[in-house]
Amino acid sequence: MLQRGLPILLIVLFLFGAAAEATNLVIYSGRNERFVLPLIEAFEDRTGIQVQLLSGDAAQYVYRLQAESRNPRADLLISNDGALLEVARGMGLLMAYDSPSLHAVPDNFRAADGSWVGLAARSRVLMYNKDLISEDEMPKSIFDLTDEQWRGQFVITRAGNASMVSHISAVRAVYGDEFASQFVADLLANEPTIVSGHTDIRRAVGAGEFKFGLVNNYYYHLQLEEAVDNNVGAIYPDQGPDEMGVFVNISGIGLVKDAPNESNAHQFIEFLLEPAQMQQYSMTSRETPLVVGIDAIAYALTIDQYNVADLHLADLGPKYNDTLDLMEAAGFAE
């Protein structure tokens, strides 16, 4: 699983060395630093534990953990995708952890062995420009995106985007491989514009370049906060009684196998799972809490306000690479 790009990492391992040994906790993070640093600083102030944070692409850090597996340098992996955490677990790169704190998070958003756990929800929504289309006119299902009436009028991310891969993996899990393959082919045939990431989508939709786009909900929240181009709305799709429901992914954290600072890593996980930290994390990232009863930002729906796809994120990990292959075979550029 996830063998792509491994040789690249072999030439950067020397960057650690003494720097990692001088710290009390090392975190590889696929999140933007501004979402993580406030919590790290609060943790350092409370415990005196010094944290080294390395931020970048979560998938690349999975490669790095694989390359370092005989001599682990990191203690924790923060990912913006639950399937990637399960890929890492399936590769033997994470280790089990058991704590009552984990059970506050619904079991479909954490590993059965506690090796990774969700911190906040990233729900997949259709963000639209209110100047171009009304809520009533908007498609109400992701599967409506194959309808001829929307040809060339919407924007999605490239195949290599982890959120898109996990979303199509969820479609495979619910409806099967044949349905998912046909859906991807029909989606591409409807001529969406394909861009690198969700920031490109939210800005383009906000600016009126497209009627709507498929994004994680926090990008919609971020666009609402822009000084201009903020007349946008969001549809939480597939809410009918026989429909899939919203695919909810997570940002989460995993415990690295043979972590050099395992005890400190346990403390950091416990810290993040306190309600105050879960709220701060979701408020800072503009995501939404996974735990009902923890307040979300004022303009966000909480996770109990819409129908969620009945999926365990752990089931998507084994599908991840095959889904990317399926997407690329259909002509979906990585």
- Tell me the CB-side half-sphere exposure of residue 33, using CA atoms within 13 A: 7
Collect all residues with Cβ–Cβ distance below 8 Å to 308 and sequence separation of at least 6: 123, 245, 246, 248
6-121+250-300 and 122-247+324-329: same fold?
yes
Q: Both tokens of residue 244? A: 């899939």
Q: pLDDT (tens digit, 9 = 90+) per residue, 169-201? A: 999 999 999 999 999 999 999 999 999 999 999
Report the percentage of the chain scoring pLDDT > 70. Answer: 93
Note the pLDDT of residue 15: 43
Whether 332 contacts 184, CB under 8 Å: yes
Query: What pLDDT does 143 receive?
Result: 98
Please name the residue that has the structure tokens 């514009």. 193
Give the model confidence (pLDDT) of 164-174 as tens digits.
999 999 999 99
CB-neighbour burial class of residue 301 (10 A; exposed 0-12, middle 13-18, buried 19+): middle
**What pLDDT, on a 0 to 100 scale, did the predictor assign at position 20?**
41
Say what the pLDDT of residue 109 is.
97
Q: What pLDDT sits at residue 2?
A: 54
pLDDT in tens, 91-113: 999 999 999 999 999 999 999 99
Separation between Cα atoms, residue 29 and residue 251, nearest integer Å: 10
Q: Does domain 6-121+250-300 have CATH number 3.40.190.10?
A: yes
Is a pLDDT exceeding 50 seen at residue 224? yes
> How much is the pLDDT for 3?
47
DSSP E strands, 1-95:
25-29, 51-55, 76-79
Domain borders along the chain are 6-121+250-300, 122-247+324-329
Q: Which of 13-17, 56-60, 187-191 has the lowest mean pLDDT?
A: 13-17
pTM of the complete model:
0.90
Q: Is the pLDDT of residue 13 over 60?
A: no
Name the token pair of 40.
């790290």
CATH top-level class for 122-247+324-329?
alpha beta
Q: What is the pLDDT of residues 125-163, one digit of tens each?
A: 999 999 999 999 999 999 999 999 999 999 999 998 999
Give the mean pLDDT of the chain. Answer: 92
pLDDT band at 23 (very low <50, low <70, confident <90, very high): low
In this prediction, residue 12 carries a pLDDT of 43
DSSP string over 212-253 = EEEEEHHHHHHHHTSSSS--EEEE----STTS--B-EEEEEE
